[in-house]
Structure 1
Amino acid sequence: METVRDEIAVVLMEPVPVSRLKTYQSLRRQVYFFQSISVLFCFSCCLFTVMYHSSPTTCKENGTMEAPKIDRQLQGPESSSEESEDSQRITSFIRLTAKSGNFSEEGHVPWMEFGSQNHNGYFTLDKDSESLKILREGTYKVSLQITYRGVEEHNGIIFLQHDINHYSESYHGPPQPLLTYMETVNFTSPYWRKSLFSEGIFYLQVDDRLMVSTNSLSLIDVGEKKGQKTVFVVYPHFST
């Protein structure tokens, strides 16, 4: 037993070979070197990340500040005038209602302006109150509603008809009917009301005129709230 202990003590006390010590020191220097490289790499990555994120923010702010300048350069006088003209077209219209008076059985409907109007140089009502004159060439939407009412017996059967007629300076001849509405009604009571509505889209030239004729002029309801019952509306129409 004593011999074994002495051998172990002799082994433990033997010095480490010089070659092994040099190898250990070399490995240790390599570990330190790689650790330094890793730390330096991590630091470089962090620095690059910070600089990268700070740079786009500056660019974004500059872009936001420059955008209004570009818009102001594009919005010149021509652009403003075009927008004003488009807005003017959209809001331009004329609304007419039938005049009161003693009329014959057939003839042209006399009109008067009803409510607030915004012509903007598109329409004018002639002095005869029967002709609506077009001042600008273009496409127009024309709407007509006439309300008739009975005041006496007509054998129970009445034929109603009204026409929107087109007069043009470009040709000589009779007016051209744009819209015609016809209806036969049978009433058992002499007191009745009937509204007839027609509408269309037409291309009109400068100085063209629109007139409405009816075979029952004396039966047009020009009483209370006639502005809602009998109306003639025209406005510029633009397809989308």
Structure 2
Amino acid sequence: MEMGKEEIAGKDYLVLMEPEPMSRLKTQYRSLRRQLCFIQSICVLFCVTCCLFTIIYHSYPSTCKENGTKEAAKYGMQHQGSKEMNQTQTISVTRLTANPDAFARKENHVPWKHARDPDHPGYFTLDEDGESLTVHHGGTYKVSLQITYRGVEKRNDTLILQHDIHRYTDSYVGYLPLLTYLETVNFTSPYWRKSLFSEGIFPLESGDKLKVWTNSLSLIDVGEKLEQKTSFVVYPHFST
């Protein structure tokens, strides 16, 4: 009897264990259906969004085009403004070169003359003495100076070439040095040439005067192509 009971209990256990695989399959099937429904919902939402965007875009084409035209016009104005600034920088140059006809009347300050007609005469004026350049508008200016010296006689020593740009202003007695350049020349031949170039950016006030002083006025090269050898250039400086 006891063996019969154990067999009956075993059969009951098998009966209870058989439905479990079916239940697991149903659970997996339901999970897959949920995932599939979720993916389908996402796809439908994406399609609806694309359709709405297309309808809105085609409903207002003129507005988009107008905005594009405004941006293009804005860029064109900025580009034109840049060109106008470059033109302003170009046409405001005052270029001087040495005036050899006045060397005999000068001692230390270089006499100048216009290398060409002033592009913008409202900024600077070369005074009647030929050595003073008067500033008419306060601002920031770029100043460039090049002087070419030459030897005409044999020497056995060394020479220090020096020239300065002096600024004369009403707020200071005497002058203020803007630029100083000096260099030592060793004479190995009686015929030599030396170009000294310097430049800088300086704030200047209305009424200021600029003069160029040199310790070797008689050695300035005044031969052909004088403008390329010796020049004094001043123009407004615009930061971009």
Q: TM-score range by the shorter chain?
A: 0.5 to 0.7
State how 1:1-240 maps to structure 2 within 5 Å.
Answer: 49=51, 53=54, 55-65=56-66, 68=69, 86-87=85-86, 89-91=88-90, 92-101=92-101, 103-104=103-104, 106-115=107-116, 117-119=118-120, 121-171=122-172, 173-240=173-240
More helix by share: 2
Amino acid at match of 2:143: V
Amino acid at match of 1:170: S
Following superposition, the deviation at residue 228 of structure 1 comes to 0.8
Following superposition, the deviation at residue 99 of structure 1 comes to 1.1
Are the counterparts in 2 of residues 90 and 236 from structure 1 also a CA contact under 8 Å? yes
Helix, strand or coil: the match of 2:218? helix
Helix, strand or coil: the match of 1:202? strand
**Aligned equivalent of 1:7:** none
Are the counterparts in 1 of residues 103 and 111 from structure 2 also a CA contact under 8 Å? no
Q: Which whole-Å CA distance do the structure 2 matches of 1:65 and 1:146 have between them?
A: 58
| Residues 166-219 of structure 1 deviation map (CA, whole Å, 9 limit, x = unaligned) | 011223x21111111122211122111011111122110001011001111111
Following superposition, the deviation at residue 155 of structure 1 comes to 3.2
Report the TM-score, using the length of structure 1 for normalisation: 0.66
Unaligned runs of 5+ residues in structure 1 are 1-41
Amino acid at match of 2:174: P
Helix, strand or coil: the match of 2:227? helix
Q: Which whole-Å CA distance do the structure 1 matches of 2:145 and 2:121 have between them?
A: 21
Helix, strand or coil: the match of 1:107? coil
Q: Which whole-Å CA distance do the structure 2 matches of 1:70 and 1:200 have between them?
A: 39
C-alpha RMSD over aligned residues: 3.3
Q: Which whole-Å CA distance do the structure 2 matches of 1:60 and 1:94 have between them?
A: 53
Q: Which whole-Å CA distance do the structure 2 matches of 1:155 and 1:184 have between them?
A: 14
How many residue pairs match? The answer is 189
Amino acid at match of 1:159: I
Helix, strand or coil: the match of 2:64? helix
Helix, strand or coil: the match of 1:101? helix
Is the alpha carbon distance of 1:56 and 1:123 closer, same or farther for their aligned partners in structure 2, counting shifts above 3 Å? same
Q: Which whole-Å CA distance do the structure 2 matches of 1:126 and 1:157 have between them?
A: 35
Report the TM-score, using the length of structure 2 for normalisation: 0.66
Following superposition, the deviation at residue 116 of structure 1 comes to 5.7
Following superposition, the deviation at residue 66 of structure 1 comes to 5.9
Following superposition, the deviation at residue 159 of structure 1 comes to 2.1
| Residues 71-127 of structure 1 deviation map (CA, whole Å, 9 limit, x = unaligned) | 989x99xx9xx8798456422211111112262584111112224642262222112
**Greater Rg by CA:** 1
Helix, strand or coil: the match of 1:108? coil
Are the counterparts in 1 of residues 160 and 182 from structure 2 also a CA contact under 8 Å? yes
Is the alpha carbon distance of 1:102 and 1:62 closer, same or farther for their aligned partners in structure 2, counting shifts above 3 Å? closer
Following superposition, the deviation at residue 230 of structure 1 comes to 0.6
| Residues 35-62 of structure 1 deviation map (CA, whole Å, 9 limit, x = unaligned) | xxxxxxx9xx89x94x853541342333
Unaligned runs of 5+ residues in structure 2 are 1-43
Q: Which whole-Å CA distance do the structure 1 matches of 2:167 and 2:199 have between them?
A: 14
Amino acid at match of 2:237: H
Is the alpha carbon distance of 1:65 and 1:148 closer, same or farther for their aligned partners in structure 2, counting shifts above 3 Å? same
- Percent identity of paired positions between Structure 1 and Structure 2: 55
**Aligned equivalent of 1:26:** none
Helix, strand or coil: the match of 1:235? strand
